[in-house]
Amino acid sequence: MEEGSQNSEQLFEDDGNELEMEGNDIDIDSNGLDIEGNCLDIESNGLQDDCDGMLEIDDNHESNGDDATAVSIENGISQGKNYPPPVVGMEFESYDDAYNYYNCYAKELGFAIRVKSSWTKRNSKEKRGAVLCCNCEGFKTIKEANSRRKETRTGCLAMIRLRLVESNRWRVDEVKLEHNHLFDHERAQNCKSHKKMDAVAKRKVEPTVDVEVRTIKLYRTSTADPVGYGNLNSLEGEISETVDRSKRLKLNKGDSQIIYDFFSRIQLTSPNFVYLIDLNDEGCLRNVFWIDSRSRAAYGYFGDVVAVDTTCLSNKYEIPLVAFVGVNHHGQSILLGCGLLADDTFESYVWLFRAWLTCMSGRSPQTIITDHCRAMQSAISEVFPRAHHRLHLSHVMQSLFENLGELQESDVFQMILNRTVYETVKVDEFEMGWDDMIRRFGLADHAWLCTLYEERERWAPVYQKDTFLAGMCTFENGEFRSSFFDGFVHKQTSLKEFFGKYELLVQEERKTEAINDLESRDSSPLLKTRCFYELQLSKLYTNEIFRRFQDEVVMMPCFSITQVHANGPVITYMIKEHEAEGDRSNIKNFEVMHDKAGTEIRCICSCFNFNGYLCRHCLCVLHYNGVEEIPFQYILSRWRKDFKRLYIPELGSNNIDISNPVQWFDHLHRRAMQVVEEGMISQDHYTVAWQAFKESLNKVRLVADKHV
């Protein structure tokens, strides 16, 4: 296959398999998540006018005043101003659009491109794929080496691979951004690809990206008009009567200024703090999202299960707060981002989820737990299509009683309902129990209950055995605490009061985590049995998680273990357990499958998926088979006290353009922040880090003195 130009039409005989593009394994590059919208520059005296360029929100939220300037979320690779760097998943309406986009991106940065290869379907002239590369790709051939032309190729690997999908869209399925040479803007302007740039290339190409990394309309602002109640463009004392109040954030007088003052203050102490603001067409605040660098870093360790707390929004609190909540290695709730929404519509939730996902480098959680809300459910299907969406069981049960009128006072009904929901371990048991309850209390025609039953797979424990929940749901009594601000934010809490408490709560959370880290590291839990499993995990788990596991160990002496089935190395055991001490009449059976060859074990109670550690039934079977240690795959790193966690921003690429001072700052700043974070681990770490900073500063000053 020969190298081509923009108009190259090389043929490539293939078997047709290359036309299939799987969307489930999209590689997400944190350097390629860009945020598009109207740039509202940071100025204390007002808004900069006519900012229509594409904006990529930067961790530091700095702007140089240029309307067209774009700053990457994760700098480390050269960025264009008006054109974001390519990422896997970008899609275009045509091949020409894709080519023109990459050509415009290259022109801005200062390099040229060419078509390295392209191919068509067998017996067809229709183009099916292409590789666009940097003009410095490869090296001269032997024939070309004998010519007098200057060598311009450096073996550069920068490229994008395009593929036709669904017969009408072109998708980027491979990207390499790093160049091994400096950019030459003057030479690039005169190259063939840029000279032949057609009129289509001169407009801004807006690619659509895969649902989990797509470009989203987000806005940033640095000023707010306190008189306009969130209308950033209103003059003093004037509020546009034509603005639909339902499409804007419901704020009291002065709240916009409070939001702005809070964001400005946080940025002074947390340079990697990010906030995103959504404006409607009239310039009114509609939705707001913010997150700090520690929360973004914590998500890398604890992003498997995330709860979306919409208590304030759904219950019509004074502040329409939505919080993303996770659970750390101590089982403690941690904050993973906050938002203020104008309403609880599909559009608002989609904006919020995409904003949050973008700040999390496009990595979706395994499981998302929410309230029962149709709009939010649709938004999650749109933004997080591969995540397990589950409903708060306690909220479902509460709403169930509220919608059943007089039955909520019936002790018999409550007993049957709780037994059906919490105590059944098999699907058929749940179904039979539910049908019996419906018939017994005459609820066959209850529309709301029928709707809830149709969604049972999202809330009934018996259907969630393959869903990892990291202990965020306890199915024994339905209790669930996902509200990070529980007890601090009430129905009448004002925005001013909330932001006054916010920093204290976040600091308290992190202080508690640090104290728990020290206690887990320096103390040895008191053992209650002689079981080696207890001793083993007392050395590995944090104190709180070990105490939870210890409860399972204490209950290990089950009443009987019986082998009921064998299929090669896979053996099924039946564990008989009394529900209450001394009560021999009520016995529950638990099936446990043990694969001796693969050292795998699974109990029908699914404690490992629900809580993240093995249950007493599995421990009994392991002990019965003479297994002296819990297999490593059942000791999760998210619970370990010896796992090194550093809450620092992602460093991105180490390849920088040494001619670009902006990249010098970004690269040095990130490295310095890494030293700062590690230097805070202990007093000894702090002393070493401080000494290293002083020595580095002295060395840098000596270099400067030599050039004086």
pLDDT at 635 over 70: yes
* 166 within some domain: yes
pLDDT at 485 over 60: yes
* 84 within some domain: no
CB contact at 8 A, 416 and 437 = yes
Residue 583: the pLDDT is 56
Query: Distance (Å, rounded) from C-alpha 104 to C-alpha 112?
Result: 10
Residue 211: the pLDDT is 36
Residues in the chain: 708
CB contact at 8 A, 536 and 550 = no
Average pLDDT rounded to a whole number, residues 53-59: 32
- Closest by Cα among 484, 543, 152, 601 to 330: 543
Q: Are residues 281 and 337 in the same domain?
A: yes
pLDDT at 239 over 90: no
* 379 within some domain: yes
Give the chain's end-to-end CA distance (angstroms, integer): 55
pLDDT at 387 over 90: yes
Which of 412, 439, 463 marks a domain boundary? 463
* 687 within some domain: yes
CB contact at 8 A, 359 and 73 = yes
pLDDT category at 707 given cuts 50, 70, 90 is low
Neighbouring C-alpha atoms within 13 Å toward the C-beta of 378: 7
471-482 pLDDT, tens digit each? 887 665 545 455
Average pLDDT rounded to a whole number, residues 580-598: 78
Q: Are residues 632 and 680 in the same domain?
A: no
Q: Are residues 592 and 691 in the same domain?
A: no
Residue 97: the pLDDT is 86
Query: Distance (Å, rounded) from C-alpha 5 to C-alpha 115?
Result: 5
Q: Are residues 108 and 180 in the same domain?
A: yes
210-223 pLDDT, tens digit each? 333 333 333 333 33
CB contact at 8 A, 120 and 126 = yes
CATH classification at residue 281: 3.30.420
Q: Are residues 559 and 623 in the same domain?
A: yes
* 304 within some domain: yes
Average pLDDT rounded to a whole number, residues 611-616: 94
More confident residue, 356 or 154: 356
Percent above pLDDT 70 for the chain: 72
Number of structural domains the chain divides into: 4
Which of 162, 178, 199 marks a domain boundary? 199
For residue 624, what are the domain limits? 532-639
Q: Are residues 159 and 266 in the same domain?
A: no
What stretches of 203-242 show up as alpha helix (H) in DSSP? none
Q: Are residues 611 and 565 in the same domain?
A: yes
Q: Are residues 381 and 291 in the same domain?
A: yes
Which of 584, 608, 639 marks a domain boundary? 639
24-35 pLDDT, tens digit each? 333 333 333 333
Mean pLDDT of the chain: 77
pLDDT category at 488 given cuts 50, 70, 90 is confident
pLDDT category at 241 given cuts 50, 70, 90 is very low
Q: Are residues 195 and 266 in the same domain?
A: no
Average pLDDT rounded to a whole number, residues 642-663: 67
439-465 pLDDT, tens digit each? 999 999 888 899 999 999 999 999 999
Q: Are residues 579 and 672 in the same domain?
A: no
8-state DSSP, 485 = T
Residue 207: the pLDDT is 44
pLDDT at 366 over 80: yes
- Closest by Cα among 685, 660, 659 to 674: 685
* 224 within some domain: no
pLDDT at 403 over 80: yes
Average pLDDT rounded to a whole number, residues 141-151: 58
Q: Which residue has the tokens 């809580």?
A: 611
pLDDT at 71 over 80: no
* 83 within some domain: no
Parallel, antiparallel or unpaired: strands 159-165 and 127-134: antiparallel
pLDDT at 326 over 90: yes
Q: Are residues 597 and 668 in the same domain?
A: no
Average pLDDT rounded to a whole number, residues 61-90: 49
Residue 28: the pLDDT is 33
* 376 within some domain: yes
Local structure of 276: helix, strand or coil: strand
Amino acid letter at 583?
A: D
Residue 342: the pLDDT is 93
Q: Are residues 624 and 565 in the same domain?
A: yes
